[in-house]
Amino acid sequence: MNKTRDGIFPHEGLLRPASRMRIFTAAALGTIAWGLAHAAPAAISDGEVRVGLLADMSSIYANISGRGSETAARMAIEDAGSEVAGRPIRLIVADHGNDVVRAVETARRWLDEEGVDVIADVVASPAALAVQELNRTRGAVVFYNGVMTSDLTGSACAPTGIHWMYDGYAFTTAIGRDLTQRGARSWYLVTVDNAFGLNVQAELAKVIRANGGHVLGAARHALGQEQLFAQLRQAAQSGADAIALINAGDDMIRAVRQSYDLLTVSKGQTVLAAVATTLNDVHLMKPQLAQGLKLAHAFYWNRDPETRAWSERFRARTGTMPNDMQAGVYSALTHYFKAVAAGGSDKGSVVVAKMRELPIRDPIVRNARLREDGRMVHDTYLMEVKKPAEITIPWDYLRILRTIPAEEAFKPMAEGGCPLVTH
């Protein structure tokens, strides 16, 4: 049909204004109805679910995060069918290099410019706390898997910030309480001088004292410091029953290796415990030097048939068995995809609400649930490095001394100080 010179269809002039309004309204309602009929897929922003993996690929935590975390993320995406709620899943990977500024800049670009819906890993407490603050008003879901500070679900908690795997309170509880109760009454602490170290040192000291032990002293070291023997010798000379290493990654590996030169440690007279370790660390240290080391983990590959089956899949791709941080990336994203599918939306607040409703069940965690403060609670394990002669299967370096149930392992929510929680 052709328009007149004035741009009006010829028949429009024959219609009364009220008739034209009814036609317009009917057409508009028809358009809205069509939109509502197709609204479910539109609830996925930008037509796809965008996952940002913010890991350490090149610095001191690369061995415990890095490509292993990327492999775990890809496995979660593949096991979800590479799509959720009828929309494809896209993975974006970035290296923060254990640099807080780079971590924040990457997260800001992802959230403000690239439409990333969920961020995973964010290894290291300083980077995690900074990203938590950045995202507070943006509302994307952010999973923290390799982070020890409990402030993420305490004073610095956020509506869509989820602390999924590692936790300083849980691991210090497993180490400080159980080892103190087993006879290690006096302790000396060797601590990395950053947010993670200071937070966990305070938590561990509380646990030790609450269980009848006492802290003789503490020595700090800089992040990435090559020589730690002076601090370790100071700890050994204190006469403490136990020396706690409150560091991680290369720092912790160096500390364990250098502590072997302390006769009381190498002869087993002094308990050596590390609050933040991974299976990869033990592999690098070698059981000969690490034997007897006490540690806490959230996952162990050889725990049961389900963990073994998933871990063998991981090993086929990487050549290594997964640590609990890497396994946590898989677990977190798997539950996220289930929540997006169930809620039909990738909006952060909607997804987190659905994540709390759905049972958490996967090959990685046991006895798990997501609390209102953003802490995912789960069973944790007090473990010890085996002697070389006791290792009969490749990568089976550890034995479980005790399983700590979820509700016993984690700080009670009422004591966490999260302002989002109403009691």
Chain segment 114-138, per-residue pLDDT in tens: 999 999 999 988 999 999 999 999 9
Q: Give the mean pLDDT of 410-419.
A: 93
Confidence of residue 200 (pLDDT cuts 50, 70, 90): confident
State yes or no: pLDDT of 98 exceeds 50.
yes
What's the mean pLDDT when you consider all of the chain? Answer: 89
Residue 14 has what pLDDT? 35
Residue 24 has what pLDDT? 35
Residue 146 has what pLDDT? 87
Residue 423 has what pLDDT? 60
Q: Give the mean pLDDT of 174-201.
A: 93
Question: Which of 21-25, 50-54, 140-144, 225-229 is least confident?
Answer: 21-25
- Quote the percentage of the chain above a pLDDT of 90: 77
State yes or no: pLDDT of 37 exceeds 70.
no
Phi then psi for 221, rounded to 5 degrees? -140, 155
Please say whether the structural domain 169-302+382-406 has been given the CATH code 3.40.50.2300.
yes
State yes or no: pLDDT of 9 exceeds 50.
no
45-166+303-378 falls under which CATH superfamily?
Response regulator (3.40.50.2300)
- Phi/psi zone of residue 270: left (φ > 0), alpha (ψ -120 to 50 degrees), beta? beta
Cα within 13 Å of Cα(23), Cβ side:
7
Reported as a single tens digit per residue, the pLDDT across 332-387 is 999 999 999 999 999 999 999 999 999 999 999 999 999 999 999 999 999 999 99
First to last CA, the chain: 67
State yes or no: pLDDT of 66 exceeds 90.
yes
Residue 263 has what pLDDT? 75
- Phi/psi zone of residue 80: left (φ > 0), alpha (ψ -120 to 50 degrees), beta? alpha
Q: Pinpoint the residues of the chain covered by CATH 3.40.50.2300.
A: 45-166+303-378, 169-302+382-406
Q: Give the mean pLDDT of 270-280.
A: 92
Q: Give the mean pLDDT of 382-395.
A: 95
Burial code (b: 16+ CB inside 10 Å, e: under 16) for 169-195 equals bbbbbbbbbbbbeeebbbbbbbbbebb
Candidates 277, 333, 358; CA nearest to 143 is 333
State yes or no: pLDDT of 42 exceeds 90.
no
Tokens of 235: 């700890």
Q: Give the mean pLDDT of 380-406.
A: 96
Question: Which of 81-90, 178-187, 193-202 is least confident?
Answer: 193-202
Residue 149 has what pLDDT? 86
The segment with the largest mean pLDDT, out of 30-39, 169-178, 234-243, is 234-243
Q: How many CB atoms lie within 10 A of CB 354?
A: 19
CB 97 within 8 A of CB 58: yes
Give 142-202 as a DSSP string. EEESS---GGGGTTT--TTEEE-S--HHHHHIIIIIHHHHTT--EEEEEEESSHHHHHHHH
